Amino acid sequence: MTDTPPGPRPIPEVTTHHLDEYAYGVPAEPRRPEGTLHPELAGTVHYTDPRVRRLAQARWRLATGGTYQEWLMLGKDHPDTQIAQAREWMRAAVAAGILPPPAP
């Protein structure tokens, strides 16, 4: 028996990569030093990455208050869907080590 006081346990330190391991099943990696950029990883993010469309859809819905069906009705090539912008932000996040690269 330990001498742990009753009540909530302290929250362990969590890094972005540990959250990714929990959410996406991606193995946790040590955190990269701030300012480290890996542009070669950015090239692995394509429009087919489901996170790109999810990010674009969330951005559009937050800005407009529209529904998922309304976003779909715009069509993938409509500029308001913001898919190209979402891809660029996703590429930047992967290059900076904020998000893991897409699964092969």
Which amino acid is present at 72?
L
> What's residue 58's pLDDT?
92
Model pLDDT, residue 11: 47
**What's the pLDDT score for residue 61?**
93
In the chain, which residues have pLDDT < 70?
1-35
Contact residues for 93 (Cβ-Cβ < 8 A; gap 6+): 99
Query: Letter for the amino acid at 55?
Result: L
CA atoms 57, 24, 15, 43: torsion sign: negative
pTM of the model: 0.62
d(CA 24, CA 77): 28
Maximum C-alpha span of the chain: 62
